[in-house]
Amino acid sequence: MIGLIAVTAAGRAAAGRLSAAWPEARCYDGPAAVAVPLAWQECDALVCFLAAGATVRLIAPLLESKATDPAVVAVDEATRWAVPLLGGHARDANDLARRVAEMLGAEPVVTTATDARGVPGLDTLGWPVQGAVAAVSRAILDGEPVRFEADATWPLPALPPNVGATGAVRLLVTDRLVDVDASTAVLRPPALVVGIGASRGAPADEIEQLVVAALAGAALSPLSVRHVATVDAKAGEPGIVEVAKRRGWVVVTHPAERLAAVAVPNPSAAALEAVGTPSVAEASALAQGGVLVVSKQKSAHATVAVARLRPRGRLALIGLGPGARDLLTPRAIDELRRASVIVGLDQYVAQVADLLRPGARVLASGMGAEEARARDAVEGARAGHAVALIGSGDAGVYAMASPALEFAGDDIDVVGVPGITANLAAAALLGAPLGHDHAVISLSDLHTPWDAIERRVRAAAGGDFVVTFYNPRSRGRDWQLAKALGILAGHRPPGTPVAIVREASRPDESVHLGTLADVDIEDADMRSVVIVGNSNTRIVAGRVVTPRGYRWLG
């Protein structure tokens, strides 16, 4: 819930814009001295259309804890600035300020040192962090050597170059209980699964004591528990549910048949008779893979086992759009900054170099190395890293998603980030040429035989599709475009609009508009797309328009 507090006409107008777009927002009326305390109690975040000083004075008496106080963002009267005042990291106020700024056309102001320097804050990674967080964060920001130690490779964002093998202060990533001194910060990765079996009515206190003892006996931190797991039949067992609630853990359940197929060291005939599987605790802990680190422990009414999961690397398939920075999506920017390894064509890497985290490892290569880039990206993810594989347009359209996914297995997490294609960018310049069914065909015969390409062109021509041609013409391929246009000309009027759009959205973009009868194909090259209308496409006030299938009224 986001509370919107405004006391002036301009503020109320801006709050109304946010409220209309955000279903999670609530507007508070009345004097700010009344509205702010009320919203503070009811909301997770506050956007105050008030002076920063006034907002600070109003929230100061309400402050209690960094972990529980709501995020607070102040917006000035002219809606020029969105300033996170409270909870920049812990409560995502920085992100909220960016969202507010995007909606209102304002500028977000970064107030935390790590964000200002492009360094990921230790408390923004989504994992519990303990120990000397401030001291280690300060050392990272100051460029002092910070020793980095990890039990395994996890898909963390890039850390700056001063975080490495040596240093007086230490950043440790582990699920183990360790002695933490004044120079060590510990990140707790979600590495552990606690399997629980319980008799009907097993007391929550008994189950919790057994879990705590099992973890402590193996020197494992409860903060690294990803979830607790059990058999479907115990999904609503009150004791298990209560323990998970107390600890803030999710309960994951599995069918008995699945658990029965998991090999375990300590099967039980009693469990098989009771719930249909010879193991609940150990099998539940192991059901998602991993290694058993605590064998079955028993109390009077419960059993517990613990498994350690192998970290899963992360591969983000990112489309950078047609080239203009304002057509690069916010999600793509977020994924670029989340990655520690960037893989892509050298010119595309250069395009977003300013968005990468300090310390990101860049694997850039030239034209023609698509398969090698795809393999590098997948292998990086398999090694446990957070990898971004980048390309122009959309990653899944004539780009890198397809070759990468041919190599990727189910041992990594894959995230697709859609991008604006050259087809869409070109269409936006022209008007509405894609207003009805359309086909996209590449005229490059580098990977596809021309016979197959020609069949597709003939099919599109016969179906009266609007057609966009990618890779229309190069020095070594100077006849295919003319051939394709000739095929289309046999199925639609000679006055059908044909547009050649070069470098859509880039500084030197150009548009050449003609018809099937007079288009000059010399204007097309590999940096162009060619859009050919269907039999109903018209030019209206200089714009290309394909009707949506309704009767043409022009």
**Confidence at residue 295, expressed as pLDDT on a 0 to 100 scale:** 97
Residue 117: pLDDT above 80? no
Higher pLDDT, residue 305 or 143:
305
Class of domain 423-545: alpha beta
Position 120 confidence tier, pLDDT thresholds 50, 70, 90 = confident
Whether the CA torsion 267, 193, 220, 239 is positive or negative: it is negative
Whether the domain at 192-308 and the domain at 423-545 fall into the same CATH topology: no
**Confidence at residue 391, expressed as pLDDT on a 0 to 100 scale:** 94
**Confidence at residue 553, expressed as pLDDT on a 0 to 100 scale:** 46
Q: Which uninterrupted H or E stretch holds 482?
A: helix 480-489
For 296, other C-beta atoms within 10 Å of its C-beta total 24
Residue 102: pLDDT above 90? no
Q: What residues pair up with 107 in beta bridges, in sequence order?
A: 81
How far is it, in rounded angstroms, from Cα 334 to Cα 321?
15
110-114, 188-192, 261-265, 524-528: the lowest-pLDDT one: 110-114
Do 43 and 70 form a contact (C-beta atoms < 8 A)? yes
Q: List the domain boundaries for the chain.
A: 2-111, 122-187, 192-308, 314-420, 423-545
Position 63 confidence tier, pLDDT thresholds 50, 70, 90 = very high
Strand 71-75 vs strand 45-49: parallel, antiparallel, or unpaired? parallel
Mean pLDDT of the region 345-359? 93
Mean pLDDT of the region 205-229? 97
Residue 114: pLDDT above 70? no
* b (16+ CB within 10 A) / e for 28-51: beeebeebbeebbeebebbbbbbe
Could you tell me the CATH superfamily of domain 314-420? Tetrapyrrole methylase, N-terminal domain (3.40.1010.10)
**Confidence at residue 452, expressed as pLDDT on a 0 to 100 scale:** 97
The fraction of the chain above a pLDDT of 70, given in percent, is 97
Helix (H), strand (E), coil (C) string for 450-470 = HHHHHHHHHHHHHCCCEEEEE
What is the rounded average pLDDT for all residues in the chain?
A: 92
**Confidence at residue 123, expressed as pLDDT on a 0 to 100 scale:** 75
CATH number of 2-111: 3.40.50.11220
Residue 437: pLDDT above 70? yes
Angle in degrees, CA 469, 417, 407, rounded to 5: 85
Position 78 confidence tier, pLDDT thresholds 50, 70, 90 = confident
**Confidence at residue 331, expressed as pLDDT on a 0 to 100 scale:** 92
* Model confidence, pTM: 0.80
Position 550 confidence tier, pLDDT thresholds 50, 70, 90 = low
Residue 305: pLDDT above 80? yes
Do 150 and 175 form a contact (C-beta atoms < 8 A)? no
Mean pLDDT of the region 356-384? 93
**Confidence at residue 118, expressed as pLDDT on a 0 to 100 scale:** 62
Residue 469: pLDDT above 80? yes
Residue 337: pLDDT above 60? yes
Residue 554: pLDDT above 50? no
Class of domain 192-308: alpha beta
**Confidence at residue 113, expressed as pLDDT on a 0 to 100 scale:** 52
